[in-house]
Chains A and B, each alone.
Chain A
Amino acid sequence: MLLEVKDLHAGIEGKEILKGLNLQVRKGEVHAIMGPNGSGKSTLSKVLAGHPNYEVMSGEVLYDGKDLLEMEPDQRARDGVFMAFQYPVEVPGVSNSQFLRLAYNEKMKHLGEEELDPLEFNDYLKEKAKIVEMDPQFFKRSVNEGFSGGEKKRNEILQMAVIEPKLAILDETDSGLDIDALRIVAEGVNKLRSEENAIILVTHYQRLLNYIQPDFVHVLAGGKIVKEGGKELALELEEKGYDWVKGATN
């Protein structure tokens, strides 16, 4: 088991948002977590990534058999946990390529593998950028600064491509994308999907799942998983709306 979330209660500023969440993810699987706005999708993503403002009240999260909640966010990242942000952060004055090279090299250092110098890394980055059809002109620009919403999301997937995480949590990577960008990003994710990693797609809409076929769909409402099934569940949800599952919480 790559990830095991057991009866997780977590929240922010004393307010409980996740109220007993269970989730199991194995290598090679793609899981979709769907839920209405405010249901706690980003809360789950941030708790897994280790955001310091979120507090875990009870429960357990095992990653590769280790206690994930005990690990610092940067440790988690070097160990293969990646979260694509719903709202990627701008980092003025730091170029994208500089940033990506540092992230890449930290991971390599952690694995005891060879780091890349700027020239070598540039070649590596050019290859990776093809996965999300990203223009190399974005390498020199400050991280996410002045990027459109869609470019930011694409940049998140580029980071995923560079870092090659074992567990990728993509928080609403589809939101704010037009149909072409959605296709590019989704195809990028499909290319990165492998038997060696697992992906959690966090989304409000079903449309992303037309492009990325999940193995499992979980519906989050009221801080819990209220329904689980295969990819057909997403379609049913699309048809019946979230009110259908909201009823299930009561």
Chain B
Amino acid sequence: METQFDESFKARLAAEGDAAIKALRERAFAAFTDKGFPSLKDEDWKYTNVSPIAKETWKTATAGIELEHEDAGIRAHELLERFKYDRNGLTALNLAMAEIAVIKIAKDTVVDEPIELNFAAAEGTAIFPHVVVIAESGSKATIVESYSSEARSFTNAAVQMLVEDNASLKHYRVQKDSPEAFNYGVTEVTLGKGSFDSTNINLGGAISRHDIELKFTAEGGEAWVDGLYMLDGEQHSDTHSTIDHAVPNCISHQTYKGVLNGRSRGVFNGKVFVRENASGTDAQQQNKNLLLSNDARVDTKPQLEIFNDDVKCSHGATVGQLEDEEMFYLLTRGLPETLARNLLTYGFAEEVINKIEIEAIKSDLDATVLNRLHAEI
């Protein structure tokens, strides 16, 4: 079957100097040709219709990341080989077209400055960044992944992260694309006996989807996977997360919050697996949604699959409006109703934003949230 990416794929392949990666790209492209774009018939995609992306004609552009992968070494190759490109047509397309960058944080190194990855697709273009992050044992770093693509653009990104024993990686993913852009992103994390702390902010995009998957591979790992989606107008944002407690004695914390206004729609699907041998697991997951308009909607599905009795797990999801008692409290302090509403909404979102330790990102998000609420606080 022919696809609109055939030509650009040929060009990409011709420029590939690494035989192993070339073979990988070919396999991935074959998978894309076979699968095509995901459809509503796929259980995993039943709420997110990507046909508007498939219908457009895209000009492949560079994402502008300059790191070479040739010298990435054997580990990066291994990780790329492990990438689950066949999870769907979009991940297959990403790997086929991938603009690969490798970030290695050497053993026992502490990188103070955040490592920034900025992606912005211009109107009419598609970009396919694929970043491999290897945090070697005992290292410490912060990765900031930001998206600010233009209207009618298509970002199809993947980030693979390997966090080795005693390494500590902080990860911020801030998606502030145009409300008319399309954004799909996959984050795959392999976590040893270290810590991984991720905050995922989704503010932009007409249709955006983020799949984040974390697998514990050594006892004693601890992960935070948190997020906020704040939508308005006709925006649609979908988060699918999977936390896989494949080994004993790991801890995962997850808080995702949604603020939905206008006719927007949010989707949260959070799977937590606790495997048969994974005793001593502590897994907490919650998803809270605030609906600010009658036409906004959210579909939330926290899923806990536990195959071991010796665990501490909790999960829950709420969808609601602002609390009446909180409103009344603010009113009795003289705040007019609109300001009271805005302040409570801001507070709801702040619970996630407050977590951000980089002041520039935090204050930018504060301002964005307030701007969204047309409020001065």
The yes or no answer to A50 lying at the interface (CB within 8 A) is yes
Q: Which of A74-127 contact B (CB under 8 A)?
A: 74, 76-78, 82-83, 85, 88-94, 98-99, 102-103, 106-107, 110
Are A74 and B334 in contact, with the CB atoms below 8 A? yes
Interchain nearest-CB distance for A162 vs B (Å): 9
Q: Which residues of B contact A90 (CB under 8 A)?
A: 326
A-B pairs under 8 A by CB, number? 81
The yes or no answer to A51 lying at the interface (CB within 8 A) is yes
Q: Which residues of B contact A88 (CB under 8 A)?
A: 329
Q: Which of B259-304 contact A (CB under 8 A)?
A: none
Q: Which of B337, B354, B377 sits near A102, CB closer than 8 Å?
A: B377
Name which of B328, B349, B377 has the most chain A CB atoms within 10 A of its CB: B328
Separation of A101 and B75 alpha carbons in the complex (Å): 54
The yes or no answer to A159 lying at the interface (CB within 8 A) is yes
Are A93 and B326 in contact, with the CB atoms below 8 A? no
Main secondary structure of the interface of B (DSSP, over half): helix
The yes or no answer to B344 lying at the interface (CB within 8 A) is yes
Are A106 and B331 in contact, with the CB atoms below 8 A? no
With contact pairs A91-B347, A93-B348 given, residues A98 and B377 touching in the complex (Cβ less than 8 Å)? yes
Interchain nearest-CB distance for A125 vs B (Å): 14
With contact pairs A74-B335, A74-B337 given, residues A89 and B347 touching in the complex (Cβ less than 8 Å)? no
The yes or no answer to B81 lying at the interface (CB within 8 A) is no
Query: Interface extent on A, as a size class?
Result: 20 to 34
Q: Which residues of A contact B103 (CB under 8 A)?
A: none
With contact pairs A92-B351, A98-B377 given, residues A103 and B331 touching in the complex (Cβ less than 8 Å)? no
**Residues on B facing A (Cβ under 8 Å):** 324-326, 328-337, 339-340, 343-344, 346-351, 354, 377
List 12 A–B pairs whose Cβ atoms lie within 8 Å, in order of A's numbering. Answer: A49-B332, A72-B331, A74-B336, A77-B331, A77-B333, A91-B326, A92-B348, A93-B346, A98-B377, A103-B333, A106-B334, A142-B347
6 A-B pairs with least C-beta separation: A93-B347, A93-B350, A77-B334, A89-B329, A94-B347, A103-B333
Besides A85-B332, A94-B350, A102-B339, 10 new A-B residue pairs in contact (Cβ under 8 A), listed by A number: A73-B331, A73-B332, A76-B332, A92-B347, A94-B343, A94-B344, A94-B346, A102-B377, A106-B334, A106-B335
